[in-house]
Structure 1
Amino acid sequence: MALIDCNFYSDILGIDTTVKVILPERSQTKIGALGSLKKEKYPTLYLLHGLSDDHTAWTRKTSIERYVDGKGLAVVMPDVGRSFYTDMKFGGNYWTFISEELPKKCREFFPLSEKREDNFVAGLSMGGYGAFKLALNCPEKFKAAASLSGALDLLGEAKNSSIDGMMEEMKTIFGSVGEIEKSINDLFYVAKKLSNSNTETPYLYQWCGTEDFLHNGNLNFKKFIEEETRIKLSYSESHGDHKWCYWDEQIQKVIKDFGF
């Protein structure tokens, strides 16, 4: 596999930024590696980081490069700071960046497929929210999405002030709590709206640890999707809290579940 740090200028953000990319590599002599057959354009997994992480987190804290070895799957890991993948009230337009500019830029730089059936997104915590936000708002772009310990019931968390110490920061990102409701940042609203349309819906994979502080929000989202929408959801939970040892295990299951 080729591991690339790609530094480029974002017109949307108005700053230089970095994305870490894993690309399949054909090799017959690399010890301990499988190698991949060359394709004209590779299917792609956009892998999103959590609130306190950056674009290096997945490669530093999991063996993601090894997990995709031999599968012909490219992995794109962007940096969005603490933006919640949102066009911030006071800050950068990270939603426009992640949903529009980043895929376009990466396809200019690398041989990545534009086809819906070849594009997937996954993430942990804030990134789990971002993954479902992308898939539900842009169902024409993504075949499937995975959320691991995702902050999915964002409106509920904000109303209950259960994200400890974050209320002022949430206002900086989203504005008032009322501005989240019935917007593209409200996953419940977006999922219901999508389900009521004639658009093909993405497949969703959801996992959360039973000791995780976001577990109740995950249960709320699961119940809503199963009872109020036609979206296909695979939900699982197991012992665990908000730690990398569980996400490292789960991302391997996600890759297999996505068909790789």
Structure 2
Amino acid sequence: MAVIQCQFYSEAINLSMGIHVIIPQNAAIQASGSAKLPVLYLLHGLSADHTDWIRHSFIERYAENKGIVVVMPSVGRSYYTDMKYGSPYFTFLSEELPEIVRALFPVSERREDTFVAGMSMGGYGALKLALSFPERYAAAASLSGGLDIVSRMNGANNFQPHELIAIFGDVAELKGSTNDLFYLLDKLKAYDGDKPMLYQCCGTEDFLYADNQTFRKYALDLGIEVTYDEGPGEHDWDYWDPQIQRVLDWLPIG
């Protein structure tokens, strides 16, 4: 198992950025030469960074067992957006980061080998990526995701008022925008190509449980299949660590 802390300059953000990358050593050796490994982009939550999954879960061991590269970027408290008054983190994540990762590490460029997942804010980011670019991702998973972003911004949330303005500008314009997952579900419904597999889970004691129920019902009403799991659990690592194992088992890793 190789765990790499990588620093590089981001042209999109105009800043040195850090990522953690897990490379399963045995799989990398077996795939040496022209073969490439599947890759999971694993996203952090609101008050975390790219070290969170390494520090709080056993993702290293799980990745080794599955033979998958795991890339963990950091986007601050941007909610995986091109901020209205700030940096274009979604452009960084969706455009620049994959190019850098493919240039530096032995990961596949094929859609069938490319996946994204995340917890809390990262669950939103994972689904946003896959719904925005269904041609790039074979599967996406949300663990306790903050998915009903319009309701969150207009009600209880973990942001300071100035953060909302910096991220989204006029929150009244959020509904029906490219930051609205429900709008992106509508677009996916009309998409003619292969649709990504979607996975969603949330603990029944989680403060985001109602948001997850709303998202699931909307997807089902559109006829979009979502693999769904719920059970006892709160918004914490006691829930997320077992769930990421289930996500890895669910991913269509060849």
Does the alignment reach a TM-score above 0.5? yes
Q: Using a 3 Å threshold, how does the CA distance of structure 1 residues 199 and 252 change in structure 2: closer, same or farther?
A: same
Q: Which residue of 2 aligns with 1:45?
A: 40
Q: Which residue of 2 aligns with 1:121?
A: 116
Structure 2 gap ranges (5+): none
Q: Using a 3 Å threshold, how does the CA distance of structure 1 residues 210 and 36 change in structure 2: closer, same or farther?
A: farther
Q: d(CA) in 1 for partners of 2:147 and 2:131?
A: 12
1:165 is displaced (CA, Å) by: 4.8
Q: d(CA) in 1 for partners of 2:65 and 2:220?
A: 35
Q: TM-score, normalised by structure 1?
A: 0.93
Greater helix proportion: 2
* 8 Å Cα contact 1:37/1:72 also seen in 2: no
* 8 Å Cα contact 2:148/2:214 also seen in 1: yes
Q: How does 1:121-140 map to 2 (within 5 A)?
A: 121-140=116-135
1:51 counterpart letter in structure 2: L
Identity, % of aligned positions: 51
Q: TM-score, normalised by structure 2?
A: 0.95
1:181 is displaced (CA, Å) by: 1.5
Residue 143 (structure 1) aligned to one of 129, 138, 145: 138
2:39 counterpart letter in structure 1: T
SS at the partner of 2:20? strand
Q: Which residue of 1 aligns with 2:227?
A: 234
Residue 51 (structure 2) aligned to one of 29, 39, 56: 56
Q: Using a 3 Å threshold, how does the CA distance of structure 1 residues 177 and 66 change in structure 2: closer, same or farther?
A: same
Q: How does 1:1-260 map to 2 (within 5 A)?
A: 1-26=1-26, 37-38=30-31, 40-159=35-154, 161-228=155-222, 230-260=223-253
Higher alpha-carbon deviation: 93-102 or 190-199: 190-199
Q: d(CA) in 2 for partners of 1:164 and 1:95?
A: 20
1:250 counterpart letter in structure 2: Q
Deviations, residues 213-256 of structure 1 (Å, cap 9, x unaligned)? 1111100000000012x322011111111111100010000000
2:243 counterpart letter in structure 1: Q
Higher alpha-carbon deviation: 149-158 or 164-173: 164-173
* 8 Å Cα contact 2:150/2:174 also seen in 1: yes
Q: Using a 3 Å threshold, how does the CA distance of structure 1 residues 234 and 36 change in structure 2: closer, same or farther?
A: farther
Q: Using a 3 Å threshold, how does the CA distance of structure 1 residues 56 and 165 change in structure 2: closer, same or farther?
A: closer
1:191 is displaced (CA, Å) by: 0.8
Q: Using a 3 Å threshold, how does the CA distance of structure 1 residues 113 and 165 change in structure 2: closer, same or farther?
A: closer
1:117 counterpart letter in structure 2: E
* 8 Å Cα contact 2:138/2:196 also seen in 1: yes
